[in-house]
């Protein structure tokens, strides 16, 4: 991977070619997003629209995870903490104080970024499995605290009041199309931030940290600050995803937004789609979420466990068959080309 | 707190701690051998508990008599998990860490689904062990016999593991493979076979824990998850790969949990454990007995 960072610079030497490639990426993205935005007008079935919303939400959150886990290489298995923080900040501010969800999400996002910075300070001293286990444990502490904190509803959770349909409160009782567009908008923003970062100084730093933190440090990369920045951006958008989820389902409780399972589910689409890539999270979510939702409703109705078995086999199969992610089936990455060139 | 209450908390914490150590040691062993964290470890425990439950229903024997059968079943399961899944995950050329996490996570979901399919989602109890429900009264300190039994089994297992590692050819092969995976091939040790047996041994140990736990703990498809988290914390606290670390950390976790339950509401009893774990790794990132 180190070769990516090195090779990218000479490859860009005809500055125009580089800019053209960047422009083409944007055009492709615009076309894809326009197509997705039109989808709910073609798919009018409410159940399928629900699947689409969840897919886009998971894609957005997973792409946020990807910023820290994929680009910077810090495998967090505790992102449910930030998702839960966003969901709870949005819900408490709206239900208790009447602050509209847009404000709540922003507060939740900023709060999560601050928490990520505060936690990053001790956690980024840990490496590998020790870092991952620490993130699991911290998220679990958060879950236990919320569980036993009556002000935020404790184990009972928070129920949103019913209001007339409005973009202001992000509440739509019957129409699901606005939710599709909000979830898509969130993904577009996260995608665009990733796109901007990818070729910025931060992007190169993060990939250098991921490949070999010590080598990067010796070359003058500010490793610790790189990790902190990635964690803050990642946590911010994960929390906004959580706030959206709360608005969408109108009811949250600790288990449904903060349990360990979600931390893995947020990492999964990016990993299976293609870790550290622009489109991996969306591709992964577009395969995983519909399969989960549809197999759950057709096979899991009686709690038979067949849906879980299918899901488990699918996750294992993709992980083992395509370690580089599904995207690698369709195109050879710069890394792959470089690896072929240098035996 | 009276002396008697203190003794009670200490004793229950110690007993449960030894059982936690037994749950965690298999995870630590596998990690030490090949740098893989098994995210299906809790599900191995859950299946062992169901195996005990199913065998009792089938044979009407005491679960304690059936323990060796559960251990043997889990040994086979562990070997199969390595040969069927983990072996391929280790061959991954890219993202090896993530592939290992999600290959074993996928296995965990599969096993949960299988348990749900076979036994349903109801909470189960293993009926009628002669240990069940009995307590030992030591000067006003009450100790449940199933936990005492579990603690004794755990200590015996650690003793046996020590002998196995130090006195047998397999133990030496395990230790050698852990030291240098490449070099063992040169002296004629089949690395794959050692790994498969190592996974068998790790699973057998958690199987033993499951058989012990089944006597006094309710069983359901998600039961593994809560114990798995304690096991990860125990292993990370003791130091990944360290057997002694797992034993010491298990006891520490049991004691801290018991004392936290006195101070905080019982639902928060794990908070003390997690806080202690974080405090330790922030000061000593490799855990108590780990090597960096």
Measure the CA–CA gap between A17 and A93, rounded to whole angstroms.
48
Q: Find the helix packing angle between A260-274 and A46-66, rounded to 10°.
A: 80
Give the minimum alpha-carbon distance from B276 to chain A in angstroms, rounded to a whole number.
Answer: 11
DSSP letter, residue A68:
I
Q: Using 50, 70 and 90 to split pLDDT, how confident is the model at A12?
A: very low
Q: How far is CA B235 from the centre of its chain?
A: 10
| Neighbouring-strand partners of residue B136 | B143
Nearest 5°: the CA angle A109, A227, A112 is: 15
**Which tens digits make up the pLDDT trace of A169-223?**
878 877 888 899 999 999 999 999 999 998 888 888 888 888 888 888 888 888 8
Measure the CA–CA gap between A291 and A295, rounded to whole angstroms.
6
Assess A334–B contact: CB distance below 8 Å, yes or no: no
Give the minimum alpha-carbon distance from A271 to chain B in angstroms, rounded to a whole number.
Answer: 7
Measure the CA–CA gap between A249 and A236, rounded to whole angstroms.
20
Q: Which of B98, B111, B275, B290 to mutate to test the interface with A (most CBs of A within 10 A)?
A: B98
Query: Which residue among B103, B117, B282 sits closest to A319, beta carbon to beta carbon?
Result: B103
Q: How far is CA B56 from the centre of its chain?
A: 22
**Nearest CA among B173, B202, B197, B201 for reference residue B38:** B202
Contacts (Cβ under 8 Å, ≥6 apart) of A335:
A1, A3, A4
Measure the CA–CA gap between A291 and A318, rounded to whole angstroms.
13
Cβ pairs A/B, distance under 8 A: 144
Q: Do A315 and B106 touch (CB under 8 A)?
A: yes
Tokens coding A304: 């038979």
Q: Do A305 and B109 touch (CB under 8 A)?
A: no
Q: Scan for tokens 């339950």, then name that residue.
A: B261
Give the minimum alpha-carbon distance from B117 to chain A in angstroms, rounded to a whole number.
Answer: 5
One digit per residue, pLDDT tens: chain B, 292 residues? 688 889 999 999 999 999 999 999 999 999 888 888 899 999 999 999 999 999 999 998 888 899 999 999 999 999 999 999 999 988 887 778 888 888 999 999 999 999 999 988 889 888 777 777 788 888 888 888 889 999 999 999 999 999 998 888 888 888 888 877 777 777 778 888 889 999 999 999 999 999 999 988 999 998 998 899 899 999 989 988 888 999 999 999 999 999 999 888 877 888 899 999 888 888 888 888 877 6
**Nearest CA among A209, A263, A207 for reference residue A76:** A263
Assess A336–B contact: CB distance below 8 Å, yes or no: no
Q: Do A308 and B108 touch (CB under 8 A)?
A: no
Measure the CA–CA gap between A175 and A165, rounded to whole angstroms.
8
Q: What is the dihedral of CA A144, A145, A151, A156, to 10 degrees?
A: 0
Cβ–Cβ under 8 Å, residues A81 and A99: no
Tokens coding A327: 């995207």
| Neighbouring-strand partners of residue B144 | B135
What is the chain B residue with the closest CA to A305? B113
Name the pairing type of β-strands B135-138 and B141-144.
antiparallel
Q: Which of A133, A261, A273 to mutate to test the interface with B (most CBs of B within 10 A)?
A: A133
Q: Do B282 and A268 touch (CB under 8 A)?
A: no
Helix (H) or strand (E) holding A252: strand A251-252
pTM: 0.87
Segment 249-278 of chain A within 8 Å of chain B by CB: 260, 264, 267-268, 271-272, 275
For the residues A47-66, what does the mean pLDDT come to?
94
Measure the CA–CA gap between B125 and B121, rounded to whole angstroms.
13
What is the chain A residue with the closest CA to B264? A148
Give the minimum alpha-carbon distance from A66 to chain B in angstroms, rounded to a whole number.
Answer: 12
Give the minimum alpha-carbon distance from A218 to chain B in angstroms, rounded to a whole number.
Answer: 20
Q: Which of A134, A137, A207, A343 to mutate to test the interface with B (most CBs of B within 10 A)?
A: A137
Give, rounded to a whole angstrom, the gap between the first and last alpha carbons of chain B.
40
Instruction: Judge if ipTM > 0.85.
Output: yes
HEC sequence for chain B: CCHHHHHHHHHHHHHHHHHHHHHHHHHHHHHHHHCCCCCCHHHHHHHHHHHHHHHHHHHCCCHHHHHHHHHHHHHHHHHHHHHHHHHHHCCCCCCHHHHHHHHHHHHHHHHHHHHHHHHCCCCECCCCCCCCCCEEEECCEEEEHHHHHHHHHHHHHHHHHHHHHHHCHHHHHHHHHHHCHHHHHHCCCCHHHHHHHHHHHHHHHHHHHHHHHHCCCCECCCHHHHHHHHHHHHHHHHCCCCHHHHHHHHHHHHHHHHHHHHHCCHHHHHHHHHHHHHHHHHHCCCCCCCCC
Q: What is the dihedral of CA B243, B248, B251, B254, to 10 degrees?
A: -90
Q: Using 50, 70 and 90 to split pLDDT, how confident is the model at A342?
A: low
Can you say whether residue B221 is alpha, beta or left, with left for phi > 0 and alpha for psi between -120 and 50 degrees?
A: alpha
């Amino acid at each position: 991977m180190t070769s990516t960072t090195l090779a990218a610079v000479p490859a860009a030497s005809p500055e125009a070619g580089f800019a053209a490639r960047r422009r083409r990426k944007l055009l492709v993205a615009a076309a894809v997003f326009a197509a997705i935005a039109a989808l709910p007008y073609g798919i009018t079935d409410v159940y399928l629209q629900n699947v689409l919303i969840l897919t886009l939400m998971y894609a957005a959150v997973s792409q946020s995870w990807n910023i820290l886990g994929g680009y910077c290489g810090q495998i967090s298995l505790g992102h449910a903490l930030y998702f839960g923080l966003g969901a709870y900040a949005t819900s408490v501010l709206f239900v208790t104080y009447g602050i509209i969800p847009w404000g709540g999400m922003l507060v939740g996002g900023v709060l999560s970024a601050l928490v990520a910075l505060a936690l990053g300070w001790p956690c980024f001293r840990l490496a590998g499995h020790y870092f991952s286990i620490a993130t699991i444990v911290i998220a679990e502490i958060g879950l236990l605290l919320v569980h036993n904190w009556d002000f935020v509803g404790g184990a009972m959770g928070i129920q949103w009041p019913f209001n007339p349909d409005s973009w202001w409160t992000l509440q739509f009782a019957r129409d699901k199309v606005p939710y599709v567009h909000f979830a898509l908008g969130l993904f577009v923003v996260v995608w665009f931030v990733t796109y901007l970062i990818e070729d910025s100084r931060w992007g190169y730093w993060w990939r250098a940290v991921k490949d070999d933190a010590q080598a990067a440090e010796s070359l003058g990369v500010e490793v610790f600050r790189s990790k902190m920045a990635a964690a803050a951006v990642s946590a911010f958008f994960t929390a906004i995803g959580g706030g959206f989820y709360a608005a969408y389902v109108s009811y949250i409780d600790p288990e449904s937004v903060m349990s360990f399972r979600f931390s893995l589910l947020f990492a999964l689409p990016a990993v299976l789609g293609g870790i550290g890539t622009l489109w991996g999270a969306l591709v992964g979510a577009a395969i995983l979420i519909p399969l989960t939702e549809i197999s759950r409703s057709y096979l899991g109705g009686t709690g038979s466990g067949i849906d879980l078995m299918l899901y488990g086999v699918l996750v294992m199969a993709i992980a083992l068959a395509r370690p580089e992610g599904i995207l690698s089936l369709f195109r050879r990455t710069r890394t792959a080309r470089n690896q072929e060139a240098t035996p | 707190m009276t002396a008697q209450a203190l003794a009670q908390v200490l004793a229950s914490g110690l007993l449960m701690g030894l059982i936690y150590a037994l749950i965690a040691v298999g995870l630590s062993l596998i990690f030490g051998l090949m740098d893989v964290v098994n995210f299906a470890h809790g599900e191995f425990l859950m299946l062992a508990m169901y195996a005990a439950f199913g065998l009792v229903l089938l044979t009407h024997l005491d679960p304690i008599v059936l323990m060796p059968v559960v251990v043997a079943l889990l040994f086979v399961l562990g070997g199969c998990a390595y040969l069927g899944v983990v072996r391929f995950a280790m061959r991954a050329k890219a993202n090896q860490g993530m592939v290992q996490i999600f290959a074993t996570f996928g296995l965990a979901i599969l096993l949960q689904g299988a348990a749900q399919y076979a036994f349903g989602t109801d909470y189960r109890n293993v009926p009628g062990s002669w240990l069940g429900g009995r307590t030992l009264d030591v000067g006003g300190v009450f100790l449940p016999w199933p936990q005492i039994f579990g603690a004794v089994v755990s200590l015996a297992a650690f003793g046996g593991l020590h002998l196995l590692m130090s006195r047998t050819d397999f133990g030496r092969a395990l230790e050698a493979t852990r030291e240098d995976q490449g070099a063992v091939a040169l002296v004629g040790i089949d690395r794959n076979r050692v790994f498969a047996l190592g996974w068998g041994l790790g699973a057998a140990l958690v199987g033993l824990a499951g058989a012990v736990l089944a006597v006094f703990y309710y069983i359901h498809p998600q039961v593994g998850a809560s114990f798995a988290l304690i096991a990860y914390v125990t292993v990370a606290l003791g130091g990944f790969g360290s057997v002694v670390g797992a034993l010491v950390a298990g006891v520490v976790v049991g004691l801290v949990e018991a004392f936290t339950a006195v101070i905080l509401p019982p639902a928060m009893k794990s908070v003390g454990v997690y806080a202690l774990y974080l405090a330790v790794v922030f000061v000593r990132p490799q855990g108590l007995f780990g090597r960096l």
